[in-house]
Structure 1
């Protein structure tokens, strides 16, 4: 329905899943564990969430999570699993992102009836989606800012992650700009350290970016990590703008929806959303939140880029989740909305992971970030960047990397060096 938000869940319970679904709907709308005075039929018709479907799945022999409420009642298994869809009236929430999150998730994780619950997806009506912030730049705007009309944006991360002085960081950025990068970002653990405060690091870095732009005409986008309390983030963003920068990065989970919304509305810079900590919400298959739902909520805050990790990377997420995350980021949140954000691939990426990335997503509308794959290339960072560009040119032309490497020494060296390490 046009005025309803639909959320999908995976649940586990020793009880009847259909009855648990009704508990979920009541708990997250106008009800509680029992009908209360004032909860009239008219009010329930207007404000109660609706269970749209319950699809039972094969049960489990043991519960996924402990549950004292069920243990007190000595409720036996089997532990029934089900996919559930529930619709919530938009009028209960309004254009209020923290309350939207509290509605589709919130206390559901604490319900006594379940031994597992995961928010899988959130679908929004178009009129409701338009009440929230759109990406200010997204895919097309990021391409305009960097001058990359086609192909992936090739990026890297400041390494060492933390410990460099502001001047050393500036020197490294100058080297990376000269190497031919489109995008450079701070690591998530380096925001405003004593040895390289942003007040010094931003001018030191941007002096090199401007110098490179004056020499080549190329603007390299640098995502400065300004993660902090809200007023500080606004000050840092203002300094980036004054220095001619185009992007800031925020650790989404630790700043929160409201702070990111405030920053989006304050600044015209591209907003690079870093998801560090997402594993705490997602790694257990019957707890937390799936990336489809996660990215939908954060896109309502107006981010322009979303981290999805990388294929064949160094982290725990399966490739299927990375692929689904990239596709979800590029898809509209609601019918008729032009609000795609650029997926950012990172974590153990190098020329050798390009083919599986292209095969999986079939688009070059992405950030392809490589730290070691660029800076540890045996012939230096410029050769590392070239090896990645050569790999992308090859796969987009339907040519294998081994064949392409016959004519490209940088790619050949990357395959020989990093391939042996894998």
Structure 2
């Protein structure tokens, strides 16, 4: 267990040098030191402020470096290139409740260190008292269920497609069609925020009018995640507009808005914040560079997001299914004991009734948002049949019934499996 006055970060490193020596360089670089001891760096200061290496586990070496390194080339250092998992403990007092600085400590200049040919942040562990100093989701899983009226089971969602080009009225008409089809959740695409042809000032009122009409006739509130990605003042203004028109959710492209903007938005709005991770692949796909999903989602949960994208099983993106599953588990695992700061994992990318079995088999629960574009809109029976097929699939797998059995009594599911493939 991490000490109450320290937080820990774990890394995978690669280096031709002694991994223990490199770990000490990392600890010094990201706390009170640099590559050599300097004037003013007293023993008392180091005892108070220096990070410490708490673990080094060496792994099998490799013959070739994962990344080029001019510093090592100038030093004449060559392989073998040793790999190790390194854990470093940092004093909380060095950072305080400052999320951008926390991120720069655990994932900053370390990537440029001359001693490494690979470095990846794999985990962040926080003491409970430190976690409590940051923001938490205002809605999370429980709040999202309350706002949508979906008390149990997977929430079924879809995405506005075409993702760009529709004007405000056309978007509202599509939303009305999806509401009638029976979805719980609809979201904008990440590349459609405040375009000239459908500005949020027009789109929000038009779309929410359609959602209110559906609510008035059915009693169901469909959650619409408007993409308000922008500079901070614009996001706050658009979040206020959503709330004024009875909306319950805003979507933000996390990587491009940044920790400060999202934290400010969180503190100024009670809307559910749907965190879209587009761009995450640029910092995660190389196995010896960047940041894994566990520390990534940890940092964004400290900003107070309520939903996190994890992609989807057997989907159209590059991630292995195991990575998707582990990401979903991270979202529903409290960061510290006794704190319900779980966020709703949002599955998307190539999802349909045909991927439900694999999803449930892998994660074993239905506390998730299951979004399908083509799996709903391209269903041969139409969008309503697409939604029904997904609900039928989830009802079946959570009851221990195979999709093949359920398809025997549900034509919508049978059509979905025939159209999208039985991939589970």
Bucket of the pairwise TM-score, normalised by the shorter protein: over 0.9
Alignment gaps of 5+ in structure 2: none
Q: Equivalent residues in 2 for 1:52-91 (5 A)? A: 52-91=54-93
User: d(CA) in 1 for partners of 2:39 and 2:63?
Assistant: 40
After superposition, the CA RMSD in angstroms is: 0.9
User: d(CA) in 1 for partners of 2:423 and 2:91?
Assistant: 53
User: d(CA) in 2 for partners of 1:420 and 1:401?
Assistant: 9
Alpha-carbon spacing, 1:377–1:421, altered in 2? closer, same or farther (3 Å) = farther
What corresponds to 2:9 in structure 1?
7
Q: By how many angstroms is 1:229 displaced? A: 0.2
User: d(CA) in 2 for partners of 1:219 and 1:213?
Assistant: 5
What corresponds to 1:117 in structure 2?
119
What corresponds to 1:48 in structure 2?
50
Q: Is 2:249 aligned against 1:247?
A: yes
What corresponds to 2:290 in structure 1?
288
1:88-124 CA-partner distances (Å, limit 9, x unpaired): 0000000000000000010000000000000000000
User: d(CA) in 1 for partners of 2:206 and 2:45?
Assistant: 60
**TM-score between both structures, scaled by the size of structure 1:** 0.99
What corresponds to 1:234 in structure 2?
236
Q: Is 2:375 aligned against 1:387?
A: no
Alignment gaps of 5+ in structure 1: none
What corresponds to 1:339 in structure 2?
341
Q: Is 2:364 aligned against 1:362?
A: yes
SS at match of 2:136: coil
Structure 2 contact 250–271 (Cα < 8 Å) conserved: yes
SS at match of 1:155: strand
Q: By how many angstroms is 1:421 displaced? A: 10
- How many residues end up aligned between the 2 structures? 422
User: d(CA) in 2 for partners of 1:237 and 1:102?
Assistant: 28
Q: By how many angstroms is 1:76 displaced? A: 1.2
User: d(CA) in 2 for partners of 1:352 and 1:416?
Assistant: 9
What corresponds to 1:212 in structure 2?
214
SS at match of 1:256: helix
Q: Is 2:260 aligned against 1:258?
A: yes
1:378-401 CA-partner distances (Å, limit 9, x unpaired): 010000000000000000011111
What corresponds to 1:318 in structure 2?
320
Alpha-carbon spacing, 1:16–1:195, altered in 2? closer, same or farther (3 Å) = same
What corresponds to 1:163 in structure 2?
165
Q: By how many angstroms is 1:420 displaced? A: 8.0
User: d(CA) in 2 for partners of 1:393 and 1:133?
Assistant: 35
Q: Equivalent residues in 2 for 1:84-233 (5 A)? A: 84-233=86-235
User: d(CA) in 2 for partners of 1:129 and 1:408?
Assistant: 47
Q: By how many angstroms is 1:13 displaced? A: 0.2
**TM-score between both structures, scaled by the size of structure 2:** 0.99
User: d(CA) in 2 for partners of 1:76 and 1:40?
Assistant: 35
1:44-78 CA-partner distances (Å, limit 9, x unpaired): 01100010010000001100000000011111100
1:226-253 CA-partner distances (Å, limit 9, x unpaired): 0000000000001000000000000000
Q: By how many angstroms is 1:417 displaced? A: 1.0
Choose from 305, 311, 316 the match for 1:309. 311
